[in-house]
Amino acid sequence: MVRKSWLLLLYWLCGSAGAVTPLQAPDPHSFANFKQVRSRHLVLDLAVDFTRQQLTGYVEHRLERLDPTVQRLILDTRHLKITAVTASRDGVHWQNTPYLLSIADRLKGQPLTIQLQPDTQAVRVYYQTTPQASGLQWLTADQTSEKKQPFLFSQSQPIHARSWLPLQDTPANRITYQAQVQTSPGLLAVMSADNSANTKRDGHYRFDMPQPVPSYLIALAVGDLHFKAMSADTGVYAEKIWLDKASVEFADTQKMMDAANRLFGQYPWKRYDLLVLPSSFPFGGMENPRLSFVTPTIITGDKSLISLVAHELAHSWSGNLVTNASWNDVWLNEGFTNYVENRIMQQVYGQNRADMELLLNVQALRERLKQLPPADTRLQPDFSGRDPDDAFHQVPYVKGQLLLTTLAQHFGQDKFDAFLQRYFAKFAFQSIDSATFVRFFSEELNQDQSFSAASLSQWLHQPGLTDEIQLPASDAFRRINASQQQWLRGETSLSLLATNHWSVHEWLHFIEQLPRQLSPQQLSELEMAFSLSQSSNAEIFTAWAKLVIPLNHQQIIQPLRQFLLSVGRQKFITPLYTELKANPQWRSWAAQVYREARPGYHPLAQQQLDRLGL
Ligand code: BES
Ligand code: ZN
């Protein structure tokens, strides 16, 4: 029986092999033939085994045929163990069906090809994850804040969902899902779905996501989590240690949501909760619908870094509601989100703070533009054949944001925000490309072509940044430049600078404006006056450490070691290790710290840092 089905499978693959690839590549980062047959609903049934660090179970795909002649369903997988595939024509009776797991592509993983009968309505794939899953981090109890229970979280964006469930892993398709997750009692599982605050903590959890989402927004976390409400529609999940601090830090989330509702249309996802992850989380935040995942490094006690919450909340419109159809258009997600984030910050915290945040973004963009090959400084680079993880940098985020800021200046802020509101309504629950945005823009806002086609085309297709951008002037930043100059010229001492009321943004600006060549004398003056090596704000600490590593500033060594051993956020640790590697005197010390810290880092961070070759 087994042998016969294998022969059939071979025959079926060879007989129509030509049809497997040529039709497609609507998404260069997926093998899925979603234009012929699409998965419209998932049923997940998973057991979470912390001893083996393994998810085991099945995923059921309910199918919609777009091409009636289609004979196979191709799913994306990476490092998964497939144990069986069954198919059903009625959703009740299931039969084994032939499948083939092909050899791995370096970027896309292994296509799983499943034979379909003309009346197949659904398939189930039984599988296990493996320790190589790039989209999962398994933490032992020791690696968590409370040190009592293990922790698991997923990170699917951009193409890591396929490492923990076989699916059509493309942002061009949207699915609803339901899930059943089993784990040890005492642990709580949460997903990017409807999490109920009063769930019984018995180890059996059920989820339902009735709104269609792209695959990269499917998310799961399991740990010793507790919930605290912040308002009727917002709350925090965290390990107990963080719960109170987090709910104070994020208390303005409801205000942010109210502001976004006014500007961009009613929040479409019911609740908005935040999940505080362990500090090994490789990002600042991830916009998983109804439940953004965030790093604890933004819990500083002074709300100085909560623009990150505004950012992840903003994705509820830009990204989660209107989605880039492929990772070549990532600016549609991240550039729009930076714009919306800044509008929320302006509404809730005022123009000055929003302006400082924009200027800090521009500063980071300018630094990045110096390092990138010109082709990668375009808003729409071609990422086929390249890892979409590398598509996320300041260009789509900040150049994208600046394009929208420029349009808002040209058409007027209110008119532009109203246009965006119509854009989000028009393309709600759709995945679109840049051309679709440009068409809508031409029809809805630029009918008289007052914004020239040449200018728009330069923004979208040319490398670099035009000189024409108008940036806000920040008095606070100007004052800092002036006093810094005075000190550098020896006209004043640091203790005379009025730093008492400087915000974190002002400190960041101060550090980033410092010359890269400071004398040992100047370094110790700075250290004496401000103790920057002791800063508990991860942004300030990193900005300072990046500056002083090349200068062999000894006082950074101990706190830096501590930082690298406890924080896994790539935005901080990658530049720090990069600077350390470039300093011949500190390089072997850094390699030693990395060896010690590596087991606690997320697989994605490990991969990125291994590439540095410390
Ligand atoms: N969607 C991103 C997180 C992400 C980035 C996932 C790259 C996969 C690849 C998220 O919305 C984000 O942009 N986070 C930023 C914070 C933001 C304030 C710029 C981050 O993690 O630093
Ligand atoms: Zn983002």
Q: Is the pLDDT of residue 535 over 90?
A: yes
**Measured in angstroms, how far is the CA atom of residue 235 from the centroid of ligand 1?**
21
- 474-505 pLDDT, tens digit per residue, is 999 999 999 999 999 999 999 999 999 999 99
**Measured in angstroms, how far is the CA atom of residue 386 from the centroid of ligand 1?**
19
Q: Is the pLDDT of residue 68 over 90?
A: yes
Q: Is the pLDDT of residue 22 over 50?
A: no
Residues of the chain with CATH 2.60.40.1730: 2-129+154-207
**What does the pLDDT read at residue 305?**
98
Residues 468-473, mean pLDDT to the nearest whole number: 93
User: Which class would CATH give 327-472?
Assistant: mainly alpha
Residues 81-91, mean pLDDT to the nearest whole number: 97
Would you say 180 and 55 are in contact if contact means Cβ atoms under 8 Å apart?
no
- 268-322 pLDDT, tens digit per residue, is 999 999 999 999 999 999 999 999 999 999 999 999 999 999 999 999 999 999 9
**What does the pLDDT read at residue 3?**
43
Probe ligand 1: pick from 215, 217, 286, 298, max atoms within 8 Å of CB?
Answer: 286
Q: Is residue 468 very low, low, confident or very high in pLDDT (cuts 50, 70, 90)?
A: confident
Probe ligand 1: pick from 216, 324, 392, 397, max atoms within 8 Å of CB?
Answer: 392
Ligand 1: which residue has its CA nearest to atom 4?
Answer: 286
**What does the pLDDT read at residue 405?**
98
Prediction pTM value: 0.96
Q: What percent of the chain has pLDDT over 90?
A: 94
> Is residue 308 within 6 Å of ligand 1 at its C-beta?
yes
Would you say 115 and 562 are in contact if contact means Cβ atoms under 8 Å apart?
no
341: Cβ contacts below 8 Å, ≥ 6 apart: 307, 310, 311, 313, 314
Ligand 1: which residue has its CA nearest to atom 8?
Answer: 157
Ligand 1: which residue has its CA nearest to atom 21?
Answer: 284
Residues 365-372, mean pLDDT to the nearest whole number: 97
Ligand 1: which residue has its CA nearest to atom 17?
Answer: 308
Q: Is the pLDDT of residue 176 over 60?
A: yes
Q: State the Cα–Cα distance between residues 337 and 327, nearest whole angstrom.
A: 15
**What does the pLDDT read at residue 129?**
98
Residues of the chain with CATH 1.10.390.10: 327-472
Q: Which CATH number fits domain 2-129+154-207: 2.60.40.1730, 2.40.50.100, 3.40.190.10, 3.20.10.10?
A: 2.60.40.1730
Q: Is the pLDDT of residue 80 over 50?
A: yes
Residues forming a β-bridge with 432 = 324
Identify the sign of the CA torsion 18, 23, 26, 32. Answer: negative
> Is residue 299 within 6 Å of ligand 1 at its C-beta?
no
334 in catalytic set? no
Q: Which one of the listed residues 339, 397, 577, 601 is annotated catalytic?
A: 397
Q: Is residue 381 very low, low, confident or very high in pLDDT (cuts 50, 70, 90)?
A: very high
Ligand 1: which residue has its CA nearest to atom 1?
Answer: 286
Among the atoms of ligand 1, which is closest to the Cα of residue 308? 18
Q: Is the pLDDT of residue 5 over 70?
A: no
**What does the pLDDT read at residue 190?**
98
Average pLDDT, the chain: 95
**What does the pLDDT read at residue 4?**
42
**Measured in angstroms, how far is the CA atom of residue 337 from the centroid of ligand 2?**
6
64 in catalytic set? no
Helix H, strand E, coil C: the string for 353-400 is HHHHHHHHHHHHHHHHHHHCCHHHHCCCCCCCCCCHHHHCCHHHHHHH
Residues 27-52, mean pLDDT to the nearest whole number: 98
Residues of the chain with CATH 1.25.40.320: 517-614
Of 276, 275, 307, which is closest to residue 291 (Cα–Cα)? Answer: 275
Q: Is the pLDDT of residue 112 over 70?
A: yes
Q: Is the pLDDT of residue 11 over 70?
A: no
Q: Is residue 26 very low, low, confident or very high in pLDDT (cuts 50, 70, 90)?
A: confident
Among the atoms of ligand 1, which is closest to the Cα of residue 284? 21
**Measured in angstroms, how far is the CA atom of residue 285 from the centroid of ligand 1?**
5
Would you say 281 and 153 are in contact if contact means Cβ atoms under 8 Å apart?
yes
> Is residue 311 within 6 Å of ligand 1 at its C-beta?
yes
Q: Which one of the listed residues 60, 239, 249, 312 is annotated catalytic?
A: 312
Residues 46-64, mean pLDDT to the nearest whole number: 98
Q: State the Cα–Cα distance between residues 593 and 590, nearest whole angstrom.
A: 5
Q: Is the pLDDT of residue 380 over 60?
A: yes
> Is residue 281 within 6 Å of ligand 1 at its C-beta?
no
Among the atoms of ligand 1, which is closest to the Cα of residue 389? 9
Residues 562-574, mean pLDDT to the nearest whole number: 98
Would you say 306 and 296 are in contact if contact means Cβ atoms under 8 Å apart?
no
**Measured in angstroms, how far is the CA atom of residue 93 from the centroid of ligand 1?**
43
Ligand 1: which residue has its CA nearest to atom 6?
Answer: 157
**Measured in angstroms, how far is the CA atom of residue 519 from the centroid of ligand 1?**
36
Among the atoms of ligand 1, which is closest to the Cα of residue 337? 11
Angle between helices 330-349 and 253-264 (to 10 degrees): 110
DSSP 430-457: EEE-HHHHHHHHHHHT-TT--S-HHHHH
Q: Is the pLDDT of residue 221 over 70?
A: yes
Residues 220-232, mean pLDDT to the nearest whole number: 97
Q: Is residue 94 very low, low, confident or very high in pLDDT (cuts 50, 70, 90)?
A: very high
**What does the pLDDT read at residue 522?**
97
Residues 413-420, mean pLDDT to the nearest whole number: 98
Ligand 1: which residue has its CA nearest to atom 3?
Answer: 286
- The domain defined by 517-614 folds into 1.25.40
